[in-house]
Amino acid sequence: MEQDTSALAAALALQCDWGADEALLESPANRLAVRDATPRAPEAARPAPEPTPRPIRAAPVALAAAPPANTRAEALAAAAPDLAALKAAIAAFDGSPLKETATNLVFGEGITDAGLMLIGEAPGADEDRAGRPFVGASGQLLDRMFASVGLSRESNFYITNILPWRPPGNRTPTDAEVALFLPFLRRQVALIRPKRLVLVGGVAAKGLIGGKEGITRLRGRWYDVEIAGLGRIPALPTLHPAYLLRSPASKREAWADLLLLRRMLDQAPG
Ligand code: URA
């Protein structure tokens, strides 16, 4: 008998819209406690707890508190002498729960000495699966947009994201997550030594330019971004291709930004 699956499909689509787009386990898991998830014996098989010993008066011990995650991120990033070491440092950094829910680390790729670097927001589901930046629908649009002004990641630029791990359900990164991973991103910029940056979307623009302005106000002109060891790099904020997929009418502004970039590259080739 043929079943009507349209109600089921609609329920699944709704869950995806809410961000529940990964089938992981039969039952929910507390991902903040995964590191502590040593298999436990069933209740009945567990030995009775030892009686609590009487407290013994001990000399006070000065416990060295672990440095906060931001401080560790700064130190790890600063110590990375090259891109391979930086990628390994990010992979080893355990200061963010995003690592626990993501599948793959997404680091930058492309031409490291082209003088042009694109910075996006964070990996989506496709990037998380592939371990590569901008390979899903928005990445394909980005490739077509840049190809229209003669630029590609195979020949003309390096591309990366502010966050190296996918936020669950593709939610927008929080300010705290951006701040935590900025030292790694800034170090990636310092190692690539680009002459120009393109900040793809509001999260990248706000992360590197600062302030409270949204991307629609920031886009369309050059800003100076200070990078340790490099000095000021001209940076052009532009609309994110994921936004353009939802609002195709805004492609006109994105096209104006691309022309601005093309003009700058023609006037002062990197
Ligand atoms: N959106 C981004 O900002 N980065 C990616 O890598 C994919 C989608």
Q: Which of these, 107, 220, 112, lies nearest to 156 by C-alpha position?
A: 112
> Both tokens of residue 220?
């369309």
Cα separation, 198 vs 235, in Å, equals 6
* Residue 30 Cα to ligand 1 middle (Å): 26
Q: Specify the pairing of strand 223-227 against strand 231-238.
A: antiparallel
Interval between CA 242 and ligand 1 midpoint (Å): 8
Q: What does the pLDDT look like over 121-160, one tens digit per residue?
A: 999 999 999 999 999 999 999 999 999 999 999 999 999 9
Is 120's C-beta closer than 6 angstroms to any atom of ligand 1? Answer: yes
pLDDT for the residue 11: 74
Mutate to test the pocket of ligand 1, among 135, 141, 161, 215 (most ligand atoms within 8 A of CB): 161
Confidence of residue 66 (pLDDT cuts 50, 70, 90): confident
Q: Which atom, in ligand 1's list, is nearest to the CA of 132?
A: 6
Could you tell me if the CB of 86 is within 6 A of ligand 1? Answer: no
What is the tens place of the pLDDT at every residue in 163-183?
999 999 999 999 999 999 999
Is the beta carbon of 107 within 6 A of some atom in ligand 1?
no
Residue from 138, 172, 208, 246 to probe ligand 1 pocket by mutation (most atoms less than 8 Å from CB): 138
CB 175 within 8 A of CB 212: no
Whether residue 64 is predicted with pLDDT greater than 90 in this model: the reply is no
Question: Cα(228)–Cα(144) distance, rounded to whole angstroms?
Answer: 32
pLDDT grade for 65, boundaries at 50, 70 and 90:
confident
